[in-house]
Amino acid sequence: MIRLQRTGRKHEPTFRVVLTDSKNGPKSGKYLKNLGWYDPRLKNDASKQLDVASIKKYVKDGAKLSLTLHNFLIRQKVIEGKILNALPKKTVQKPADAGASAAAPAASGAAPAAASDAPAAAPAQAEPSSPADSPKTA
């Protein structure tokens, strides 16, 4: 796997482009070969140094690229392809659950619904007479 490995100080990121085993975590510091570096704070051609021939060779031999590095190499015109979304869209499941929960009380019948309404009305009448709701007089 070829990925970016963060180096540098706090708030001053630089990245190594490394060939590593996919089982090694990105923060482990272990890699098989250093293929270049990238400094995102610099905006000119001196902001990166990539071993393009080695990167293309390893990709041809079957090495996978991380999504971020894949998009970076496409923007730098090292490889051709389509930019991929590194952060997938969030799926919202609430509308499906709301429809299922609304159908459940209707299927249960009207008698339990009438029984649940009566106890709810009784506490509503008892609340105004509670000492916390009455105004204090000094």
CA–CA distance, 71 with 80 (Å, rounded to integer)? 10
Residue at 96 is within a domain: no
CB 86 within 8 A of CB 71: yes
Across the beta sheet with 2-9, what order do the strands follow?
A: 2-9, 12-19, 33-38, 48-50
> How far is C-alpha 2 from the geometric centre of its chain's CA atoms?
21
pLDDT in tens, 48-105: 999 999 999 999 999 999 999 999 999 999 999 999 988 877 887 776 555 555 555 5
Give the model's pLDDT for residue 110. 54
Count the domains in the chain. Answer: 1
CA–CA distance, 44 with 40 (Å, rounded to integer)? 10
Give the model's pLDDT for residue 24. 87
Residue at 135 is within a domain: no
Residue at 26 is within a domain: yes
Residue at 48 is within a domain: yes
**More confidently predicted of 21 and 108:** 21
Evaluate if pTM is beyond 0.75.
Answer: no
> How far is C-alpha 95 from the geometric centre of its chain's CA atoms?
21
**What type of residue sits at position 23?**
K
**What is the pLDDT confidence band of residue 5, given thresholds at 50, 70 and 90?**
very high
Q: Residue 30 is encoded by which pair of tokens? A: 């272990």
Q: Residue 106 is encoded by which pair of tokens? A: 């209707």
Give the model's pLDDT for residue 27. 81
pLDDT(1) > 70: yes
**More confidently predicted of 107 and 66:** 66
| CATH number for 45 | 3.30.1320.10
Range of the domain at 53: 2-75
Residue at 27 is within a domain: yes
Residue at 41 is within a domain: yes
